[in-house]
Amino acid sequence: MTKTMAMEKMLNKADLAAWMGKLETHQLFAPMLEDEGVWNYAPVVKAADVALDQPNTVRPPKDFVFPQRETLYRFEQVRGEAPVLTETLPDPQPSVVFGVRPCDSRGLVRQDIVFTKEFDDPYFQGRRAKTIFVGQACKVPPSPNCFCNSVGGSPSSEDGLDLLMTELDGKYHVKAVTQRGADLLAKGGALFKEASASDKAAVAKAHESAKAHPQRPIKELGKVAGALKQNFDSKAWDEMAKACIGCGICTFLCPTCHCFDINDEVTCSSPCKGERVRTWDTCQFPDFTMHTSGHNPRETLGSRLRQRVCHKFQYFTENHDMPQCTGCGRCISLCPVGIDIVSVVERLGQP
Amino acid sequence: MIDVAAIKAHAKALLEKGTVRAVIGYRNSTAGLLAEPFVFTGPESVDDLIYGPSCVQNLALYLVNDKKERAHHKSDDARPVAVVAKGCDARAITVLLQEKHFLREAIHVIGVSCEGTGVVDTKKLARKLGGKHAVEIDFDGGEAFAVTTADGVQSLPAAEIMAERCLECRGAHPQLADIAFGEAKTDRALHTPFQAVKHKMKEEQDNRWSFWARQFDRCLRCYACRSVCPMCYCEECVVDSIQFAVLPDTTAEEKANRIKWIERSPNRSESAMYHMVRAIHLAGRCIDCAECERVCPVNIPLRLLNTRLEMEAFETFDYNPGSDMNAPTLTSSFKDTDPNSFIR
Amino acid sequence: MANVQETAKDEPGFEPKIVAFLCKWCSSAGSDLAGVSRLQYPSNAVPITIMCSGSMSPMFVLSAFNKGADGVLVSGCHPGDCHYLKGNFYARRKIYLVQKLLQFIGLENDRFRMSWVSAAEGVKFAGVVDEFVKDVKKLGPQTRLKAKR
Amino acid sequence: MTKRTGVFVCHCGNNIAATVDVARVAKEMGEVEGVIFSKDYVYMCSDPGQSTMANAIKDNKLDSVVVSCCSPTLHEKTFRDVTEEGGELNPYRCEIANIREQCAWVHKEKPKATEKALKITRAAIKRVQNNQSLTPIGVPVTRRVMVIGGGVAGIQAALDLANAGLQVVLVEKNPTVGGHMIQLSETFPTLDCSQCILSPKMVEVSKNKNIKLLTQAEVQEVSGFVGNFKVKVRQKAIYVDPEKCKICDDCAKVCPTVVPNEYDLNLTPRRAIFIPYAQAIPATYTLDESACLGLNPVVCGKCADVCEADAINYDMRPKTIVEEVGAIVVATGFDLYGKENLGEYGMGKYADVLDGLQFERLCSASGPTGGHVLRPSDHKEPKNVVFIQCAGSRDPESHCAYCSKICCMYTAKHATLYKHHVPDGQAYVFYIDIRSGGKGYEEFVQRSMERDEVMYLRGRVSKVYENNGSMIVKGVDTISGKNVEIEADMVVLALAMQPSKGTADVAKTLKIGRDKDGFLAEAHPKLRPVESVTAGIFLAGAAQAPKDIPETVCQASAAASKVIQLLSKDELMHSPAIAKVRLSHCTGCEMCVQACPYGAISLSGPNAKASVNDVLCEGCGTCQAVCLRAAIDVKNITQMQVHDMINACLGV
């Protein structure tokens, strides 16, 4: 998204609902409590109920641009005739997603690279163009397993966002990062006051203090890729993966993971009719790399753990000059058996 | 109280003498409060072995994984493997033995009695602590857990933060064990088994459907429930999207002829199929370790679903999974007196 | 497609789609006898002859509902009359469990039914189908487990 | 999956075509993936129909065939033979879609029936496209036969089989063979003496080296399958050694217990040790355990004391005998309809109301009255005898719905015999219809009316009651339209025939079906009237349906010839549609091993995976449903095929 000159405004917390009320051209989403301990993005039904300082969502916001299931096209073939393919490019209603944590928005930056840089994915781009992400700077790490600082981010990073909101004593400091963020801000009209110098100073201070909270450390980020490359054949991978159960939690819930599988869902066999569908897949499933021959190059849990860690900290860094991990800590907190990517990197990703 | 030092000493002795290949147990995790399953292979590594209320995982799973790994590495070390087993873990091992997944002599069961202890439910604990973050948890006598937070150590009544399945456990003392630790305490207050299922059954059917539909809608299909289940040891699961179990003599025809019972799409109907197939396939095999429910990142009450048929097994067919490794399984047996009136 | 979860029941002209799994030796033969006797019953139930009710995998039931069946009927030999000695006893236990599970997740009770129909019970077969079709009609289309297609 | 499927839709004249739009079925099936040939034809099973099919298979190089027609029980074999012989294609590449019994005949509305026929046919196509070519498995056969029941049917079957060189085990529940026929006096329409024609056959049974006779024996358990049955028979202890017994009657003379003799329909007494009648086979006395004072020399022991041959042994115990046989003939016969059900006719209330068999004994020279027709109550000669036909038959409301078939004839015989015994007496017959189809039958009835002046009254009897010491039969003569009251000295009821009491148990043990009236069910009412639905088990005699002696003998010989045909080869062909294990998926959990009804699965190989015994497996698929890993399937009805059929039925 094109950056524009910084526009910084102040909004009374109480006026958040009023601002939302002026955004009727967009569908609004915000984190809602879905079940005990489970926050997830849901459509805003009552703006007054929206609270933006809750723990992070279980599902990252990547769903909005890379949904778990995407129909690529529909097919139909009458016998003896050529198959007819119907495009199903997404045309979603424009939407605004509130409460996006900076780690997750940095995840979107990585999704952008995958789906735009070398290959144009019209499904992703179609959704990305219609979705505005409003960030929520963290005051304290929302999880004990946060480590955004350690992977080049910060609790107030603007990467990937259209707007960044920072809570300051009953008020939000709202900064437009992109033009469409600024346009969204403009819709609030008089609800917003220009941020004063003292407001700006307060925000800078809040950002500083958030960054100062202790987080899980990775000592030398710059040397991780090289170290992992060195340790590719280490026996420690198998040892560290002993507890791994091979589920898809770490990757499905990762804001940067983007692997998918493509299947044909046949809804009628004659005439042959159905949809070609893309669904999330994960390198942690044993069938991810299964060959038709029966050979599986990543049959063991250790080799799959290595793939996950190396992709994030070595291969992606080598290709795009940034780690693919943004330090949200989901894979650590939600792992059923306590596999800890920070410990793994500490052990095998340090010189 | 469980004498952790005695468990450690036993494990150490086993590894020193070389009578077992490895000891599957628990150690502290860097990721949070709960323990991490670990495979101890050297006597010195056993220093890290722990046992406490944080040891929630069912280690029977690691026997299954161990078998897979040994097959992969074509290991020929024929020595048994030792495993720390709570009551539920031991029941799971019994079912696996009943299904001939291992030979009895290939496993050395280090039984740990949960009578008087049980393990923690982190959600209950979080509720109890109201925002404070627990960093450590241990037994505090037979009735309480000692919980450490930033504010220090506090003792909480075990019954209030214990996992629901532990409160309803019908076999807290491992029946299958080569050696057992912990006291046999029989006056432990138990909840009535299957109370959640029975409560749910009283609801109107339409409401029950709304409830489950919401759960199936939320399912991520991360398959953590399947992956954590010691009974889900099939070479290939019904939800896998490709022919997975392949032998050198598997024909191209067989590979091509995979039945797609369930689509990979994470929507209501497909997730409902997935969870129901799992429930049906667990009938008479689920030993209520409730790991599926614990690991679900979106809190789908899978224990509620899977214990529904366990209730039938127990109450209708007088079948108690994990109690007899020599009995025929629930669905490969029948009685003349099985219910018949539901049939027209 | 829109979620058709809560369609109004008792749709006029609703013709339920029913799959009837019949064991080859009793129920399919009983159904043949109904034919030979020219008994009339609704055409909604499409028969699939399987070797024995004992070969009735729960997957068949779940899959039929997933593929849009409004009702599923399983019919076998009376207890003790199984051509394969005891296949129907295994079926009885398994089908009981499947039925309990379906009811628990909230599928309407009348959508899944089992019956014993012997080779001599043409009249009973016609009656079972007739009654089942009537009961399923009352429930309207099955939307709960049906895949959106 | 096959790529060149052919579909043949039969009109069955108008049987299918009247309700199913067969042309539409043929047209739409032609559009199904993989179908390259589709045709409807008026009679597929006719010669031209069959050659159309054979030629189409060859000309179009079809690799799979569906015939949409009647039930596979009728013509699956026909069309598979055509596929193999005419079409030169493996017969298992042919499947039947039943659109007649399960569709056209049970629905009226053409569009709906057609829709259903489309689904049924499509499902069959989906199935056949994944069928494999199979070859039947040869199984060695046991060239021995068991015949259950020693009445005339069993005797005839046993003799035919034995004379063809097969070993026969004849199992009879009673102490003697002969069944009900040996109780008869004369037989219609020739009036030859029943004992005179049956006794030689009974003797032949006892003399024939190929026949092993087990009397007082009952079948307990059957396992195995066609060609290789294992039958457990329990034989009661008879306490008399038949080899030693000289039939001198000394034992019976001293026996203190007297009980009614069931062989004379309880019209005479017998002792606890007895011979049912002089010609009994085996020719031996037998001790009735239930009547004996205690099988204990301390209590009685008189018979043993008096027996010079030392044939009596109280220590005999029941035996369980296991017989291995290749085929079984079931000839368990009939019993008369329970008299207790016919109170309105005074049965059981008045001594002189008799059933047909009792009347036979009264006429018999060896019977209780030495061949004179005398009333049981006062041993006087009855002058007015009323015969009531259809006593219990043809009465769907309160008794049996079916016609017992032989009563018209035997009543005419009874009336004739009565007139021969009591020329000045009057015989009345109440009837509904006279059914006298059969060689010489109608003439026989006419003779009884004309020469013997039997009075035939068309109508039902409402009741038999007593008035001033005499029996009154109250009925209606529908021809004259008048109520009739006859003062009768004797009333004879032509009771309905029903399957013998043991038939239900035998059917259950053998796993063969029974019809709604309890008679044994034949595999096909017209084309396979002597076969049960279970391969290797055959039916003969009145256990299958009411029938007279010539018909019974016919069926017995027919069953015997079926068995001879079956056992004429050294090997039987076992169906190859059996279970197959997918070793890649099997984990060796043993659930299939536990569930298999035939013990056909065991664990084997280095990884202890399931392995199916091809000969023991019957292809029921119980294993398939208990396997959690989809590691076992029955060939040609795999889970994959059922899955595809479900989709076809639901239009997916």
Question: Using CA atoms, how far apart are residues D367 and A332, in angstroms rounded to an integer?
Answer: 99
pLDDT tens digits along A53-97: 888 999 999 999 999 999 999 999 988 889 999 999 999 999 999
pLDDT of D157: 98
Does residue B228 sit in the same domain as residue B92?
A: no
pLDDT of B186: 60
Does residue B133 sit in the same domain as residue B244?
A: no
| Mean pLDDT value across residues B289-309 | 96
- CB-based contact (8 Å) between B198 and chain A? no
ipTM over 0.95 threshold? no
Residue of chain D whose Cα is closest to the Cα of A268: D652
Q: Please, what are the domains in chain D?
A: 5-136 (3.40.50), 144-235+319-333+500-566 (3.50.50.60), 250-306 (no CATH), 339-498 (3.50.50.60), 578-634 (3.30.70.20)
Does residue B143 sit in the same domain as residue B132?
A: yes
Min Cα separation B251/chain C (Å): 24
Report the domain count for chain B: 2
Does residue B253 sit in the same domain as residue B128?
A: no
Does residue B326 sit in the same domain as residue B209?
A: yes
Distance set, CA B293 to CA A26, A189, B225, B290 (Å)? 36, 48, 7, 5
| pTM for the structure as a whole | 0.79
- From B166, B191, B216, the end of a domain falls on B191
User: Looking at the partner chain, which of D104, D621, D647 has a beta carbon nearest the beta carbon of C55?
Assistant: D621
pLDDT tens digits along B17-51: 999 999 999 999 999 999 999 999 999 999 999 99
Question: Using CA atoms, how far apart are residues D499 and D400, in angstroms rounded to an integer?
Answer: 12
pLDDT of A5: 54
pLDDT tens digits along C58-68: 999 999 999 99
Residue C29 lies in a domain: yes
| Mean pLDDT value across residues B81-86 | 97
pLDDT of A51: 82
Does residue B23 sit in the same domain as residue B147?
A: yes
Spatial neighbors of B167 by CB under 8 A, at least 6 apart, are B118, B159, B189, B190, B191
Choose the mutation target among D28, D37, D647, D650 for the interface with A, i.e. most A CBs under 10 Å.
D647
Residue C6 lies in a domain: no
**C-D Cβ pairs (cutoff 8 Å, strict):** 160
Does residue B200 sit in the same domain as residue B181?
A: no
> Is residue A303 helix, strand or coil?
helix
Find out whether B325 and B94 touch, Cβ atoms under 8 Å: yes
Find out whether C77 and C26 touch, Cβ atoms under 8 Å: yes
User: Looking at the partner chain, which of B235, B246, B332 has a beta carbon nearest the beta carbon of D594?
Assistant: B332
pLDDT tens digits along D11-30: 999 999 999 999 999 999 99
Instruction: Output the six-digit token pair for D301.
Output: 């022991």
Q: Do A336 and B57 lie within an 8 Å CB cutoff?
A: yes
Min Cα separation D316/chain C (Å): 33
Report the domain count for chain C: 1
- From B134, B158, B191, the end of a domain falls on B191
Residue B119 lies in a domain: yes
- CB-based contact (8 Å) between D595 and chain C? yes
Encode C74-91: b = buried (16+ Cβ within 10 Å), e = exposed: bbbbebebbbbbbbbbbb
Q: Do A300 and B34 lie within an 8 Å CB cutoff?
A: no
pLDDT of C2: 38
Question: Using CA atoms, how far apart are residues D507 and D534, in angstroms rounded to an integer?
Answer: 11
Q: What CATH number corresponds to the domain at position C127?
A: 3.40.50
Residue B242 belongs to domain spanning: 192-334
User: Looking at the partner chain, which of B65, B240, B298 has a beta carbon nearest the beta carbon of A58?
Assistant: B298
Question: Using CA atoms, how far apart are residues D180 and D189, in angstroms rounded to an integer?
Answer: 18
Residue B33 lies in a domain: yes
Number of residues that make up chain C: 149
pLDDT of B256: 78
pLDDT of A1: 46
**DSSP for residue D297:** T
Residue C91 lies in a domain: yes
Residue C57 lies in a domain: yes
- CB-based contact (8 Å) between A213 and chain B? no
- CB-based contact (8 Å) between B248 and chain A? yes
Distance set, CA D85 to CA D57, D88, D131, D311 (Å)? 11, 5, 18, 63
pLDDT of C1: 35
Bridge partners, D426 (sequence order): D384
Does residue B171 sit in the same domain as residue B285?
A: no
Choose the mutation target among C100, C116, C125 for the interface with B, i.e. most B CBs under 10 Å.
C100
Q: Exposed, middle or buried by CB within 10 Å (0-12, 13-18, 19+), for A320?
A: middle
Sort strands C45-50 and C18-23 into parallel, antiparallel or unpaired.
Answer: parallel
Q: Do D33 and A270 lie within an 8 Å CB cutoff?
A: yes
Query: Read out DSSP for D8-53?
Result: EEE-TTTTTTTTS-HHHHHHHHTTSTTEEEEEEES-TTSHHHHHHH
Cα B131 to its chain centre, rounded Å, is: 28
Q: Do A247 and B227 lie within an 8 Å CB cutoff?
A: yes
User: Looking at the partner chain, which of C58, C98, C106 has a beta carbon nearest the beta carbon of B208?
Assistant: C106
Find out whether A219 and A350 touch, Cβ atoms under 8 Å: yes
Q: How many CB atoms lie within 10 A of CB D547?
A: 21
Residue C131 lies in a domain: yes
pLDDT of B185: 66
pLDDT of C5: 44
B38 CB neighbours in chain A (<8 A) are: 242-243
Residue C135 belongs to domain spanning: 18-139
Alpha helices in B202-301 (DSSP H): 205-218, 224-228, 252-256, 268-281, 291-295
Find out whether D127 and D97 touch, Cβ atoms under 8 Å: no
Does residue B164 sit in the same domain as residue B252?
A: no
Kindly report the backbone phi and psi dihedral angles of residue D496, in degrees, each rounded to the nearest multiple of 5, phi listed first. -65, 155
- From B140, B175, B191, the end of a domain falls on B191
Residue A270 scores a pLDDT above 90: no
* SS3 letters across D198-217: HHHHHHHHHHCCCEEEECCE
**A-D Cβ pairs (cutoff 8 Å, strict):** 17
Q: Please, what are the domains in chain A?
A: 3-66+91-212 (3.40.640), 221-258+283-348 (no CATH)
| Chains in contact with B, counting 3 or more C-beta pairs less than 8 Å apart as contact | A, C, D
- Cα torsion through D131, D133, D138, D139, rounded to 10: -10
- CB-based contact (8 Å) between A198 and chain D? no
Residue B74 lies in a domain: yes
Residue of chain B whose Cα is closest to the Cα of A248: B222
pLDDT of C10: 55
Walk along chain D (652 residues) in steps of 10 and give the mean pLDDT of each run: 91 96 96 94 96 96 97 95 96 97 96 97 96 93 96 98 97 96 94 94 96 96 89 95 92 93 90 91 92 82 91 92 97 91 86 94 90 91 95 92 96 95 94 94 95 93 89 93 94 96 92 87 84 90 96 97 94 92 93 91 92 90 95 95 96 88
* Whole-number percent of chain B with pLDDT over 70: 99
Walk along chain C (149 residues) in steps of 10 and give the mean pLDDT of each run: 44 90 95 96 97 96 97 94 88 97 97 95 96 96 91
Mean pLDDT of chain B: 92
